[in-house]
Amino acid sequence: MREAYPVERAVGIEHFVSDADGVGGHIREEDADFRVREVERFDAEPVGADPGAYPYLVVRATLRGWDTNDFARRLSDALGISRERVSWAGTKDKHAVTTQLFSLRKVDAEDLDGLDVRDVDLDVVGRAGRGLEFGDLAGNAFEITVRDADRPANAPAVREQLEAFGGGDPGTVGVPDFFGQQRFGSHRPVTHEVGLAVVRGEWEAAVRAYVVEPYETEPEDTRRARREAADAFAARDWRGVVEALPRRLGFERAMANRLAERGGDAPEDFRAALEAVPSNLQRLFVNAAQSYAFNRILSERLERGLPFDRPVAGDVVCFSETVSGLTVPDTDREQRVTESRVETVARHCERGRAFVTAPLVGTATELGAGEPGEIEREVLDDLDLSPGDFDLPGEFDSTGTRRPVLVRTDLDVAIEDEAVTFEFSLPKGSYATVVLREFLKTDPADE
């Protein structure tokens, strides 16, 4: 198998599944080259519904060049409300044109008139009795253009190999359902290191990893600032840490300010520092640790040559449902695969009725049996993790779930000179960049 790049291996992705050379090129030369639109699964009442019974205003936002968290903060500032009153179903890429839903608690449609927020179009959808929660969408539809592709003629060969990996249906490609670089930080993939420290109860190490440890792909001035902040961190000079960090590192400064307020002498002070950032980012730290372990499990499954499109004895599968035209996993409906059931369940997987899964480990996780279970246990042992470790305070607690090991999609490819455009849809939580990496074969560190 073709080896992954170092920045990919740092987040648990060890291989490509297609051996054919890629098309090369770059994505996101312009925001419009990466278009994402949510496949929605959230019902809203008419905008004229009683705000007492339906206190959430639901809006559809088309954003150009916005990080989701940054936009939520800017929108809340413009409305004069707490950031915690803004919620959404899925975090999107910054360097893109994205269309997604937001819910705004105790906000009226008239409050949006004349808002000064750049590069955004807002349309009122209606009102709802609850706010959007992470995962309140079926998936995402993508239209992505790769520029300066120096080998565009390679796309069909890659596609053919991905069709075979996904089960052999013409037009339908399959790739391991890895968590992409964005899950861990596109240019500074450290969120899983923070999360691993949190799960192990190493609160100070978690803060240090996020705030002051530089990463080689960061700009030199940022690395220099982190090194200066690291010296102040070691001296317990928390105000010095704040002063060393540029204002653009807002979450890092928030953590350092919390340490300055509390003194930074006890483990609970460092936990409080982590809780100085938005709740969704707190959850992301632990989610990233789970995602890293998941990627490691998939990489080991590949290494051992186990199939992804059908089960082996010991696997756990989940069944599927169709939502808004997408076939998506229903992880509430699981079944363990015994030796006598392998062929029966394999037919369900072949027809898109079931998916082989691996764990996103948490307190409620039951590991597989046979060779799949052996892989899961070996990875967790290597990371010094167990399901009980995720019994954590506040937003850091996680019961875990399971996730398909394979994602399949009908994919259209259009080639025009040195530009290659891909159109496809994925279930929520699956990454377009994981599909594209197979076609490009370029180093993410160079993007």
Neighbours of 433 (CB within 10 A): 20
Strands (E), 147-256: 172-176
Q: How many whole angstroms separate alpha carbon 410 and alpha carbon 32?
A: 22
Strands (E), 136-227: 137-146, 172-176
Burial bucket for residue 371 (CB in 10 Å: 0-12, 13-18, 19+): middle
Of these residues, 93, 136, 177, 269, which one is catalytic?
93
Query: What DSSP letter does each residue of 356-425 carry, written as one string?
Result: EEEEE--TT-----HHHHHHHHHHHHHTT--GGGG--SGGG----EEEESEEEEE-EEEEETTEEEEEEE
Q: How many whole angstroms separate alpha carbon 440 and alpha carbon 191?
A: 25
**CB burial readout 150-167, b (16+ within 10 A) else e:** ebbebbebbbebbbebbb
Bridge-based pairing of strands 406-410 and 412-416 is unpaired
What does the block give as tokens for 351? Answer: 């027809």
Q: Of 387, 407, 408, 409, give the one whose Cα is nearest residue 397.
A: 387
Instruction: Examine the residue annotation and report whether 111 is marked as an active-site residue of this protein.
Output: no
Which residues are catalytic, by number?
Answer: 93
